[in-house]
Amino acid sequence: MGARPLVTLTLRINGAEHAVKSDADTPLIFVLRDELKLKGTKLGCGLEQCGACAVLVDGKAVLSCVTEAVAFEGKEITTIEGLEATEIGRRVQNAFVQMSAAQCGFCTAGLVVASTALLQENPAPDRAAAATALTPHLCRCGSHPRVLQAIERATKSAL
């Protein structure tokens, strides 16, 4: 068996277009981390079960560890590195800092991305809606109570 052919992908990430060469079946997270050196998105379980790999795709939180990068051509991808460019993303990041909503920090990028997606869709979620939005995200350190407080703080800072 020979080497598999590479495909050229054009991905729009954090407002800029990037042409990358990759195997057709390479998951998005590996293109982000290895090809584009965007290291904020983390690989946790590799099975879409922990949420560390979350990115925004057309404004919705999507897990990037399984789905091939080719599926994201023509879509707007925002990683944790790109959230600062948005008002909601800045608010969420600031609230996470203010509420000390991270311990080891491994899951934090995914939680910030999911929280940003939630507030883009629902500017004033109650605690139950926030908890539901975080359902696919695991934090072994137990930061979820402070993450929920950070979402509440980010919501109030918009009012």
The residue length of the chain stands at 159
How far is residue 75 from each of residues 18, 43, 48, 59, 156, measured CA to CA in Å?
A: 12, 21, 20, 10, 31
Q: How many domains does the chain have?
A: 2
Structure confidence at residue 2 as a pLDDT band (50, 70, 90): low
* Residue 89 within a domain: yes
Nearest to 12 by CA among 1, 4, 20: 20
Q: Residue 103 belongs to what domain range? A: 82-158
In a domain, 1, yes or no: no
- Residue 47, in any domain of the structure: yes
* pLDDT of 1 over the 60 cut: no
Q: Are residues 92 and 125 in the same domain?
A: yes
Average the pLDDT over each of 2-6, 59-63, 139-143, 145-149 and give the range with the smallest value. 2-6
* Residue 64 domain flag: yes
| Separation of CA 156 from chain center | 22
- Does residue 90 sit in the same domain as residue 130? yes
Q: Is the domain of 52 the same as that of 101? A: no
The CA–CA distances, whole Å, from 74 to 11, 57, 69 equal 7, 10, 11
CATH of the domain at 100: 1.10.150.120
Picking from 128, 88, 134, 91, the residue whose alpha carbon sits closest to that of residue 111 is 134
Same domain membership, residue 89 and residue 58: no
pLDDT of residue 12: 98
Here the CATH number for the domain that contains residue 71 is 3.10.20.30
Is 98 in the same domain as 143?
A: yes
- Tokens 């790109």 appear where? 82
User: Where a domain ends, among 50, 79, 108?
Assistant: 79
Summary mean pLDDT of the chain: 94
Residues 73 and 127 both lie in one domain: no
Residues 22, 46, single domain; the answer is yes
CB count within 10 Å of CB 145 equals 10
Summarize pLDDT for 59-115 with one digit per residue, the tens.
999 999 999 999 999 999 999 999 999 999 999 999 999 999 988 888 999 999 999
pTM comes to 0.94
- Residues 59 and 110 occupy one common structural domain: no
Measure Cα distances from 34 to 31, 40, 146 in Å.
Answer: 5, 12, 31
Pair 28, 89 in one domain: no
pLDDT given at position 139 = 87
Does 30 map to a domain?
yes
Q: Copy the structure tokens of residue 19.
A: 């042409």
